Amino acid sequence: MKFETRSVHVGVDKDSAYNSATTPIYPTSTFVWDNLTSNRGFDYTRSGNPTRSALEENITSLEGGYQCRATSTGMSAIVTALQLFKPGDHIIAGDDIYGGTYRLFSDVFTRMGLKFTFVKMRELARVEAAITPETKCIWIETPSNPLMNLVDIEAISALANKSDLITIADNTFMSPYLQRPFEMGVDVVVHSTTKYLNGHSDVVGGCVVSREKEIAEKVAYTVNAMGLGCSPFDAWLVLRGIKTLGPRMEAHQRAAQAVVEMLSGHANVEHVYYPGLESHPQHELAKKQQHGFGAMLSFDVKGGRPEAEKVFDRSELFLLAESLGGVESLMEYPETMSHASMTLDARREAGITEKTIRVSIGIEHPDDLVSDLKQALDF
């Protein structure tokens, strides 16, 4: 089946009693055993739940992995993935990743004995130079948040294989509709299902998808042992959202292209960060490893924070809010919002400044979004 068909049908046909057209929600905490040694496949919802399993089956199909485990948040998905390592292990990551991931790496897990090096991962030589005998993983976020830098997934995977390292890719910005890291050699894919997979800004969740059985078993053990699984209702919401993933991503991209074209020619915009622009330094790489350019973009407004605040104040359709990937368009200020947990020096080293505005393009009509953002910039 094609991607859009699998989005609608995989994980759905689970109701043998009444033949429900949608996957039922099983809000039970526990399940009755048939006898002392057997049950119907589930015993306790922390360990597994039919609704959650349906979602996991669907995402596994879309990403092309061996097994998925759905978690309570995107951050708990990252926590799950990091349990693959032990104190003393070293992980290489980009210096311009999501602020919450950076905080988790640089503060929380550093105190637990893991070691991290943050490099400009678009330069393969910098990644190779950062590898030490203790290195166990290369963490990939592409496009990066918020500056839309790309990582060459195939090249990084080849480098990791040569050094016997695990590769983990955060595929949240693209979704499996636009990018499938397993096809380029990645070992583990993580998502904040809060974003494009759910797509309606009404749930928080995450998932970890493994390419091979050995890692999948470790991930499943961690999710159960640490109680990181998502609730049945949240799983149902994400599974509902995934049904329209393909059409939504097309609508998102159509509007993003129109907004980018306007921004690129506006007098009060200094720079636009979007891989779909031919001027983007990694435009050709985007065409090679992505099946579209997505709907996340950032831009630098001419001036600084006062000018950025004018844009937020004047916009009527773009909501000032964190998160991304929903049907409504959002704008946020990395300096005080999504990347505030990074140090000032780390933000500046990554290229995030007081001029930077991150935008998540929704599925509103492109003309309306262009008109609104243009009048917000015409100060």
- Residue 79 makes CB contacts below 8 A (sequence gap 6+) with 104, 226, 228
Three state DSSP letters for 270-294: EEEECCCCCCCCCHHHHHHHCCCCC
User: Mind giving me the DSSP string for 172-234?
Assistant: TTTHHHH--GGGGT-SEEEE-TTTTTT-SSS---EEEEESSHHHHHHHHHHHHHHT-BPPHHH
What's the CA angle centered on 375, arms 201 and 296, to 5 degrees?
35
Catalytic, 305? Answer: no
H or E stretch covering 13:
none
User: Is 300 annotated in the active site?
Assistant: no
Q: Hey, what are 323's tokens?
A: 């998160």
Say if CB 148 and CB 298 are below 8 A apart. Answer: yes
From the candidates 26, 98, 196, 273, which is the catalytic residue? 98
**Which of these, 180, 179, 91, 178, lies nearest to 136 by C-alpha position?**
91
Catalytic residue check, 46: yes
Distance CA 198, CA 201 (A): 7
Residue type, 274: Y
Please give the Cα distance from 206 to 223 (Å, whole number): 11
Rounded-to-integer distance, Cα 128 and Cα 139, Å: 13
Q: Hey, what are 127's tokens?
A: 């990644």
Q: Which of these is catalytic: 52, 122, 136, 195?
A: 195
Q: Is 177 a catalytic residue?
A: no
CB 304 within 8 A of CB 311: no
Q: How far is CA 67 from the centre of its chain?
A: 18
For residue 251, give the nearest of 364, 97, 165 by alpha carbon. Answer: 364
CA dist 163 → 82, 103, 257 (Å): 19, 27, 39
> What is d(CA 363, CA 249) in angstroms, rounded to the nearest whole number?
8
Nearest to 62 by CA among 183, 186, 194: 183
Selecting among 89, 152, 170, 234, the annotated active-site residue is 170
Active-site annotation, residues: 46, 98, 170, 195
